[in-house]
Structure 1
Amino acid sequence: MRAVPTWTWLEGHPALDLANTVKRTGMQEHDLLRSPRDLDSWLDAAALPAPRPETVDEADLAAVIALRDPALRLLRAAVGRGPWLAADVGAVNAVLLAAPEIELVGDAPGARTHQPLGEPAVLPRLLARLAAEVRDAAARPDLAFCDAPGCGQLFYRHRTNQAWCGPPCGNRARVARHGA
């Protein structure tokens, strides 16, 4: 039996954590969400912007991947790693429209709460909140792509000149550059 992936790289940024469920080994990409069991494990580990379903099945996995794939392409396009495709915009917007919500003033300065319009089911609401996170992430100027060997993760820069998602990737990139 195949082991469930470990999610040690999760950083608490829902859009990036969703997109980064596609990992790169060398230049080959691997999908870490291959079964409902993988999805269930990821939902337990990720900092989700809305409640998760109690259980997940193949249809739920397909719905998450149907958001993740265009979200990944849009986030990569936002950092110059591919085209900004109308079909991907349409897919993310369709998820947003499936469970619309409004933002309300929260209980502290600068805080916001989200109120769904109507009573959407748990998964469509979670997917809509993830799609909103993707929309917001694509507009952030600190969004970046780590091109270190074997990484390919999206991340938020902590410094303007930050080229890699973390020290291990920086070390791998420098070693590869030195070896070349």
Structure 2
Amino acid sequence: MTIELTWAWLEGYPSLDFANTVIRRGWTEHELVTSVADLESWLDAAALPAPRPESVTEADLQAFLPLRDAALRLLRAAAGHGSRQRADVETLNEQLISCPEVLLLGDDPGTAVSRSIGSPPPFTVLLTKLAAAVRDVLTDDRQDLALCDAPGCGQLFFQRRTNQAWCGPACGNRARVARHQTGHR
């Protein structure tokens, strides 16, 4: 099955946009980033927590996927779907350690600027910032992280209402239609 990459579902939360590069069609999950071109496309569309690297390589893609997989499993576990695995925590922490930062005073009063120690490659900085965004969601006291369980979705989202079950109206409609069709069989 071919999936068109429109990235229309991106919500502007780097941690979720990172994890949601796997999508479900029916009940089968599909990888959306299978090539350097797919990764380039996602980098163009996503809200990134660090500057976009000028270009990416196959090695960057191979670094992206395992970190994304760990982030996806950890965020799903935090949303109540699956269990938190130590190996995923270690993967995230290894990325955070690979590009340490210091927090410096900014030019304006009351501001701070984060700077990487040394001169890491831009893609390493980006992956570390994405790992930090995931860490921040996992360590924040948010209670609104959820998994859209509508057929054909499976995306993580932040609930806007306490009883919100789906990431958006289209998924709610699909879930209601599926429930209706199941009731009439």
TM-score by length of 2: 0.90
Q: Deviations over 1:94-144 (max 9, x none)?
A: 0000011134566476x6532212222101110000000011122432111
Deviation at 1:3, TM superposition (A): 7.9
Paired letter, 2:171: C
| Mapped pair 1:146 → 2:140 | no
Look up the match of 1:174. Answer: 176
What is the 5 A alignment of 1:25-104?
25-104=25-104
- Asked whether the equivalents of residues 103 and 114 of structure 2 are also in contact (C-alpha less than 8 Å), the reply is yes
CA contact (8 A) 2:3 2:32 kept: no
Structure-2 residue corresponding to 1:162: 164
- The structure-2 alpha-carbon separation of the partners of 1:119 and 1:4, relative to structure 1 and needing over 3 Å to count, comes to farther
Bigger Rg over Cα: 2
Give the Cα–Cα distance (whole angstroms) in 2 for the partners of residues 108 and 84 of structure 1.
40
Unmatched 5+ residue regions in structure 1? none
What's the % identity of the aligned pairs?
A: 60
Cross-structure match for 2:131: 131
Partner Cα distance (2:36, 2:7) in 1: 15
Q: Match for residue 19 of structure 1? A: 19
What do the CA deviations read for 1:135-154 (whole angstroms, capped 9, x no partner)? 11224321110001110000
TM-score by length of 1: 0.92
Q: Give the partner amino acid of 1:162.
A: Q
Aligned partners of 2:27, 2:144: CA distance in 1, in Å?
A: 24
Alpha-carbon distance in 2 for matches of 1:59, 1:108? 40
Give the unaligned 5+ runs of structure 2: none
**Secondary structure, aligned partner of 2:102:** strand
Does the aligned pair in 2 maintain the 1:4–1:37 contact within 8 Å? no
> 100-109 vs 70-79, which deviates more?
100-109
The Cα of 1:55 is off from its aligned counterpart by: 1.1
The total of aligned residue pairs comes to 178
Q: Kindly report the root-mean-square deviation, in angstroms, between the aligned alpha carbons of the 2 structures.
A: 1.8
CA drift at 1:83: 1.1
Return the alpha-carbon distance in structure 2 between the equivalents of residues 92 and 103 of structure 1.
20
User: 1:156 & 1:12 partners in 2: Cα distance?
Assistant: 11
Distance 1:148 1:3, change over 3 A: closer
Partners in 1 of 2:11 and 2:159 — Cα distance? 12
Deviates more, 1:112-121 or 1:94-103: 112-121
